[in-house]
Structure 1
C-alpha cells in the first residue's frame, strides 16, 4: 500500500514538473552578450556580440541592444556570455579620443567610475578639458578619459610634464 502511494505521489510530482516546464512564463527580452572572451579597447563587431532571450527580471540594468553595442569598445574585459551594459561600453562619439591621465591626487581615482564626467585642470590652473568622460580607472593614479580631440591633445601634452587634477561634475 505504501509503495502504491509513493508511485502515485511520484507520478503527480512528475506531472506537475512537466506542467511547470510547459507553462508560458514572463515574456523574454533580447539582451546583447559577449559572443566570446573580449578584450577592452577593441571596437565590437558582429562576430563579437550575440543576442540571447532572457526573462525581464534577469535582464541587467543598462543592458544594450546589439545595434547599440556594435562599433563601441569595452572599458574592461568581458567573458563569453556576459551581458553588455552601457556602463561597460565607451562613448559612440566619433570626434572623441581617449587619453590616459596620471592624477595629482590618487585618492580621487577611488571616486571615479566609468561614465563619470570631469573637468581636467593642469598644473598652472589651466582648464584642459570640460565635461570629459571617464572610460576606465586603473590602479590608483591613472584614469582613462574620453574628450574631444583638441582637449585630448592638450591633456596628453600637459601630462608629459606632470600629473593633472580632475574636478567631478
Structure 2
C-alpha cells in the first residue's frame, strides 16, 4: 500500500479537532444571529390619536430596538400630559419632540416664529383643517349700524396651520373652535386685535397633489 503523505496524515489525525472547531464556529454564528438587539424604552401612542392635548391615557411605554428609535423620541418620565399633539398618530407610534407643539416644532418654520392660537367662528370649517394647510384669516366685524352691512376683510393671508386641537367633549363651547397658526410676532398682535372686534374665519388654500 502506498504510504500516506505527511499533509494527509496531519488532516486525518486532527479531523476530530477540525470538526469540533467548525461546529463551534457555526454555533457562535447562530448565537449572534438570534441574540436579541438592545432596546430602549420610549413613549408611544396608546391608541390612535388625533391632534390635540395629550392625556395620561393617551400614552404608553414601548421597548424598541435602539437602532430604530427616531431622533427626538420622548423617554418615560418626561411629563408631556397637556402638551398639544400637532398631528395625528397611529397606535404604537413613538412620540417625538417634533410632534409636540412647542419651540422645536415652530422653529422648523424659521427663527422668531410663534405658535398663535386663533378661535374661528365656524366649527365645520375647522373640522376640514389639517396641520400643514395654508389659510387666509378673514374677520367679519361684529359692530355695524343699520345702514351698513357687516364687512369681512382679509386680516392676514397665507398662514400655516400647525395644530387643530380637539377639546374634550365636556369643554365644548359656542365660542368657536381653536386652531393654532404659525405667525410672526406682529401677525400674532394683528390677530389678537382682530379677534376683539370681529368673528374670525378662514379660507383654505388648495392642497398640492
TM-score, normalised to structure 1, is 0.51
Query: Which structure: larger Rg?
Result: 2
- Equivalent residue of 2:96, what SS? coil
Find the counterpart in structure 1 of residue 202 from structure 2: 166
- Equivalent residue of 1:65, what SS? coil
Give the aligned length.
Answer: 122
Shift of 1:158: 0.5
Segments of structure 1 that go 5 or more residues without pairing to the other structure are 1-18, 41-50, 68-73
Q: Report matched runs for 1:25-104 at 5 Å.
A: 33-34=42-43, 53=65, 64-66=70-72, 75-76=84-85, 82-84=94-96, 86-89=98-101, 90-92=105-107, 93-104=110-121
- Equivalent residue of 2:165, what SS? strand
* 1:104-124 residue CA offsets vs partner (Å, 9 max, x unmatched): 221011112233332212223
Change (3 A) 1:135 1:31: farther
1:122–1:165 contact (8 Å) kept in structure 2: yes
Distance 1:156 1:32 in 2: 41
* 1:55-88 residue CA offsets vs partner (Å, 9 max, x unmatched): 75xx7xxxx5239xxxxxx5339xxx94317444
* 1:132-167 residue CA offsets vs partner (Å, 9 max, x unmatched): 333232346121222122111111110112321112
Find the counterpart in structure 2 of residue 23 from structure 1: 34
- Equivalent residue of 1:134, what SS? strand
Change (3 A) 1:168 1:24: farther
Find the counterpart in structure 2 of residue 43 from structure 1: none
Segments of structure 2 that go 5 or more residues without pairing to the other structure are 1-29, 45-52, 54-62, 74-82, 87-92, 141-151, 168-175
TM-score, normalised to structure 2, is 0.43
Distance 2:164 2:42 in 1: 20
